[in-house]
Amino acid sequence: MKKSYLEVAAPELNAKKGEETITWKGKEIQCKTLTGSYKKEGEEVEFKYWISDSVPGGFVKRTRTTKQKDDTITTTVELQSYQVEK
The phi, psi pair for 30, rounded to 5°, reads: -75, 125
SS3 state at 23: strand
Residues 26-76 have pLDDT tens digits of: 989 999 999 999 888 888 999 999 999 888 888 899 999 999 888 999 999
Q: Which are the contacts of 35, defined by CB distance < 8 A and separation ≥ 6?
A: 15, 16, 18, 47, 48, 49
Residue, of 13 and 6, whose pLDDT is higher? 13
Answer whether residue 2 shows pLDDT above 80: no
Answer whether residue 12 shows pLDDT above 80: no
Q: Which pLDDT band, with edges at 50, 70 and 90, does 1 fall under?
A: low
Closest CA to 51 of 84, 11, 22, 83: 22
pLDDT at residue 4 in the model: 54
Q: What's the CA gap between 43 and 39, in Å, rounded?
A: 6
pLDDT at residue 86 in the model: 65
Helical ranges in the chain per DSSP H: 3-9
Question: Residue 44 corresponds to which amino acid?
Answer: E
